[in-house]
Structure 1
Amino acid sequence: MAYNKPDDKQSLDVLKHAIDIGCTFWDSADIYGRGHNEELLARVLKDHRKDIFLCTKFGFTFQLYEPGTQGTFGTGNIGINGSPDYVRKAAEASLARLGTDYIDLYYQHRMDPSVPIEDTVNTLAELVKEGKVRYIGLSECTPEDIRRAHKVHPISAVQVEYSPWSAHIETNGVLNTCRELGITVVAYSPLGRGFMTGQIRSIDDLDEDDWRRTNPRFKPEHFENNLKLVDAFSKMAKKHGCTSAQLALAWLLVQEPNMVLLPGTKKIKYLDENFGASQVKLSDEDIKKLRTLVDSANIMGERY
C-alpha cells in the first residue's frame, strides 16, 4: 500500500529485492488499489510462493479498480461486510487475484457491527478446514472482539497501529489481551505513516494526491507540535549512528518480542534501511529514555 499512486515496475523491484534480503512476510488487502495490489503480488508470487508468508485482508466492500485509475484506495463508496457469504466471496476473489490456492494469514480488516464476530470467524474456520487459509487474524479490533473470536477458532495475529506516536494499544487492553492469549501482534504504520522518518518537515513535502494531507495529525495546526517527538528521536538516532526510522523500529522491537513490524515502502533504499533496524542495539538506559520520550509526547490529532 502506498500513500499516492504507485509505480508497478518500482514496486516489483522492491518486492524482488525483499526476497533477496529475506524480507518474506508480505501483507496486502483486497482494498489496496481495489484489488490491484494483490494482482501485483501475484506477478512475483508465481515464482516464489513457497518463499513468502502471504497475508491479506477482507472486510471493506469496494468496486474493483479500472486499469490506469487506481490509487491508494481507488474511488467510490466503501462499506464494511463480515457476513459469511461475503467472507467466502472475498476469499475466493483474493485467491484468484493472488494466483494462489492458499493464504497463509487471512485477516478481518475491520469489524462489522451488524454481524456477530462468531459468524464471521466460523466461516474463516471453514476456509481453514478447506485448506484455503492457514491462519486467522483480526485487524483494528477491541479486546472483546479478540476474546470472542478466539473462542470460536484460534486467532493467530492481531494487526493494529503501533508506533512511538500511536502507542494506544498499550493502554486499551489490546496488547495485554494478545499477550495473555499468545497472539502475535502485527504493527502497521510503525513509522507513523512516515512521520517518524524525519523526512517530512511540512505538509508541502507531501504530494498533492497524498491522502495524508487529510489526516488530522498532519494538519497544519498539529504538525509543528508532532514534530517534537520526531526531532527528539532524530537527535538520539545520531548518537547511535542510525536513522530516526531505524531507532523507532528498534524501540518497537524491544516492546513486544512476539511482534511483526510492517513498515511499508516504495523504494529499495528505504527497505534496506528499515530492515537494518534489527541491527540497532539499545541499552536499558536507551530504552528508558525512549520510553520517557514516547510517554511525555503530546501528540495532537486523531489517528484517522
Structure 2
Amino acid sequence: MSVKTVKLGGTASGITVGKVAHGLMTLTSQDPNVPTDEEAAFAAIKAGIDVLPPGVKMFLNSAEFYAVGFTTENLELLSRFYEKYPEYVEKTFLSVKGGMKANTLTPDSSAENLRRSVDACVAALRGTKKIDLFETARVDPNVPLEQALKTLVQLKEEGKFDHLGMSECRAETLRKANSIHPITAVEIEVSLWSYEEETRKVIATAEELGISVIAYSPLGRGLLTGTITSPTDLPEHDMRRRFDRFQEENLKHNLGILEEIKPIAAKKQIALPQLALAWVASLGPHVIPLPGSGKPKRVVENILSGDIELTQEEQDQIADILSKHEVKGDRYIGGPAGHFLHLWG
C-alpha cells in the first residue's frame, strides 16, 4: 500500500509528512452530556499513523480550545495517548492553535496572552510531546503583526515549540509575516464549497514562498460526504446547526451542486469524500488536506484519498461545475453576527 508524502515548508522543510493530515477536534466531545470515548480516539489516531511508511510523520492538528467550554481537553487527551503509546511521539508532527482569550473565541495576540496560551498548551501536554508548530487561530486586528510575531519568536527561542504557523490570514498578511520570520504552514479552509478568491491567493502565495497550506474542513464540515441531507441530520448540540450553509434553503441549493459532482466520483469508482479530498490535494504539492474523524476506518480512507490522482479532464469538469453554481451561505455565521469570527485576517 503506497501513501503519498510531502515535505513541509519553512523551517520544517526537512520533515516529511503524509499528504493528508488528521484534525483532532472531533475526538473530544462537543456535547456536555456525552463523555469523550478515549479508547476510540486513541484507535483513530493510531490507525492513521500506522498507514504511513517508516520515517514519515502524521501531521496532527489540535488546539487549546477544542472541547466543551473551550478547554485544553483535546491536548490533555493527546498527552494521555502519548503516555500510553510513547513509540508514537516521534511518528507525529503536532500543530497547535491558540492565542485566543481564555475561554472565548476572541483573538488576543498581546504578549501576555500569547505566553499564557502557549504555556497552557505546553502544560496540557505534560511533557509527553513538544509542540512542533504553534499558530494563532486568528489574526488579532488590535495588535501589530510585527509585535505578535516578536512574542512568538521569543517563545520559540525559549524552546516552547519549534516552528511558526499562521491561520485564517490573507495572502498579504502571510507574505508580511514570512518576511518577519519564516512561516512553516498556513491553515485556511479549502473545499469544493470554500474556494473563494482569497483562498486561491493564499495558496498561490504559499507556493511562491515555500509554505505548506493546511486545508481545514476539506469535506465541507460533512456536507461533501453526502450523508447530510437536512439540518435535522445533525446532533442537537452540533455547532453546524447555526452555520449558514446548513440552513434549510442554502443546504438544499448546495446539495443540488453536489448532485452534479457525484457522477464524476461514480465514473472514477471512488466515494464522494474521496473525490473531495483528492480535489483539495490536487491544488498543489504544498496543499495538505486536513479532514477530521474519530473512526479508524474513515481516518485510513481519508489518508489513502491523497493517493488518488484526478485527470485534467476531471479537474476541468469540477471547475466547470463550480464556475456555473454559486455556493450559498457564509462559511460560518453570516451577516453582522459573523464579524467576530475574524476571517481572512
- TM-score if structure 1 supplies the norm length? 0.90
Residues of 2 paired with 1:188 and 1:10: CA distance?
A: 22
User: Identity percentage over the alignment?
Assistant: 37
Equivalent residue for 1:217? 245
Does the CA contact (< 8 Å) of 1:4 and 1:207 recur in 2? no
How far off is 1:80 after superposition? 1.7
Does the CA contact (< 8 Å) of 1:162 and 1:169 recur in 2? no
Does the CA contact (< 8 Å) of 2:101 and 2:113 recur in 1? no
Residues of 2 paired with 1:296 and 1:43: CA distance?
A: 48
Does the CA contact (< 8 Å) of 1:106 and 1:137 recur in 2? yes
Equivalent residue for 1:230? 258
Alpha-carbon displacement from aligned partner over 1:199-237 (angstroms, at most 9, x marks no partner): 111111111111111100000121110002222222211
Equivalent residue for 2:185? 157
Alpha-carbon displacement from aligned partner over 1:164-187 (angstroms, at most 9, x marks no partner): 110025566322221222211110
Residues of 2 paired with 1:14 and 1:37: CA distance?
A: 14
Residues of 2 paired with 1:229 and 1:28: CA distance?
A: 31
Alignment partner of 2:289: what SS? strand
Alpha-carbon displacement from aligned partner over 1:36-72 (angstroms, at most 9, x marks no partner): 1011111122312211101101122233xxxxxxxxx
Residues of 1 paired with 2:287 and 2:158: CA distance?
A: 28
Unaligned runs of 5+ in 1: 64-76
Equivalent residue for 2:78? 41
Equivalent residue for 2:16? none
Alignment partner of 1:159: what SS? strand
Matched, 1:18 2:45: no
Alignment partner of 1:137: what SS? strand
Counterparts in 2 of 1:1-304, with a 5 A limit? 1-2=25-26, 4-5=30-31, 6-22=36-52, 24-33=58-67, 34-46=71-83, 47=86, 48-63=88-103, 77-100=104-127, 102-168=130-196, 173-304=201-332
Letter in 2 for 1:209: H
Alignment partner of 1:62: what SS? coil
Does the CA contact (< 8 Å) of 1:163 and 1:189 recur in 2? yes
Residues of 1 paired with 2:259 and 2:76: CA distance?
A: 38
Residues of 1 paired with 2:210 and 2:221: CA distance?
A: 27
Q: Which moved more, 1:137-146 or 1:217-226?
A: 137-146
Residues of 2 paired with 1:41 and 1:190: CA distance?
A: 23
Alignment partner of 1:112: what SS? coil
Residues of 2 paired with 1:168 and 1:256: CA distance?
A: 16
Q: 1:165 to 1:102 in 2, by over 3 A?
A: same
Alpha-carbon displacement from aligned partner over 1:275-297 (angstroms, at most 9, x marks no partner): 12123232111111112122223
Alignment partner of 2:165: what SS? strand
Q: 1:279 to 1:156 in 2, by over 3 A?
A: closer
How far off is 1:299 after superposition? 0.6
Alpha-carbon displacement from aligned partner over 1:3-46 (angstroms, at most 9, x marks no partner): 84343332122112222222711000101112110111111223
Size of the aligned set, in residue pairs, is 291
Does the CA contact (< 8 Å) of 1:4 and 1:209 recur in 2? yes
Residues of 1 paired with 2:316 and 2:164: CA distance?
A: 35
Letter in 2 for 1:98: L
Alignment partner of 2:94: what SS? strand
Equivalent residue for 1:74? none
Letter in 1 for 2:80: R
Does the CA contact (< 8 Å) of 1:169 and 1:175 recur in 2? no
Letter in 2 for 1:84: A
Letter in 2 for 1:103: I
Question: Taking CA–CA contacts closer than 8 Å with sequence separation of 6 or more, which of the two structures ends up with the larger relative contact order?
Answer: 2
Q: 1:14 to 1:230 in 2, by over 3 A?
A: same
Q: Which moved more, 1:31-40 or 1:12-21?
A: 12-21
RMSD: 1.8
Does the CA contact (< 8 Å) of 2:216 and 2:291 recur in 1? yes
Letter in 2 for 1:16: K
Letter in 1 for 2:48: A
Residues of 2 paired with 1:267 and 1:120: CA distance?
A: 37
